[in-house]
Structure 1
Amino acid sequence: MKSRDTLIRLKRFHVDEKRRRVSQIETMIAEFQRMASDLDREIAAEQQRAGIHDVSHFAYPTYARAAGARRDNLLRSAEDMKGQLAEAQDELAEAFEELKKVELLDERDQAREKVAEKTRDQASMDEIGLQAHNRRAS
């Protein structure tokens, strides 16, 4: 049973690690998207100040052009992270399944032990009863 307990702890640790990884990736995606939104606002403000909204215009603000490139990179990175997120979620589901299998085996073994213990207890009680009956009959 000790080895099974150790295995269950190990599987739970794996599930926790996978869960943390999923959470980290989700946080990174959200942060990239937030930063891209901030850049969108800054670009709009810069365009408003310059009065030029056409990116191909020769006098388009340099800061707005650089911020747009940075925003596009952030959005691309967020999209790439979504693929990693899907992988991490699959790994988490797999680790969770493995944990459940081991936990179900443990529960089944414990149930079997309880039945065996009850059977031993009943046999012991039957023996005590027979001995008492035999003493009275003698």
Structure 2
Amino acid sequence: MTADVRRRLRPPLTEGYVGNAIILTVAVAKMAEVVDDIPAARIRAAIMKLNDDYIGSALDFLEMQEDQRRLSRSAGNFSATDLSVTSWMQLPFYDVDFGWGPAEFMGAAAFYYARQCCVMNTPDGGVKY
């Protein structure tokens, strides 16, 4: 999973920061555990581990790599059981106005892999995916 770390860094990134500030984390479970347990609890626990020390350790690891491009080549290798869910719930897409009024629709342009999902708000306050 990727997680936004803008507010998890100490000091946090500024409100006007532009660009990605993400880190990868995982929540692992066997199929029986997913059926019998609550997957959201595992996901939440993995995200809660993302503190300043964890993020600093990940940055140290990246700095030690001779060729960071090798890491990104394997990032998109989803297995047949992987699922990628992105949340854009906190992004204010419908507050943007380029001069011709607020947006009527916002959506992801394309997904490059199967089993990808993007969760976002609708203009009326609902949720779409």
Structure 1 length normalisation: TM-score?
Answer: 0.19
* Higher percent of residues as helix: 1
* Higher percent of residues as strand: 2
- Structure of greater Rg: 1
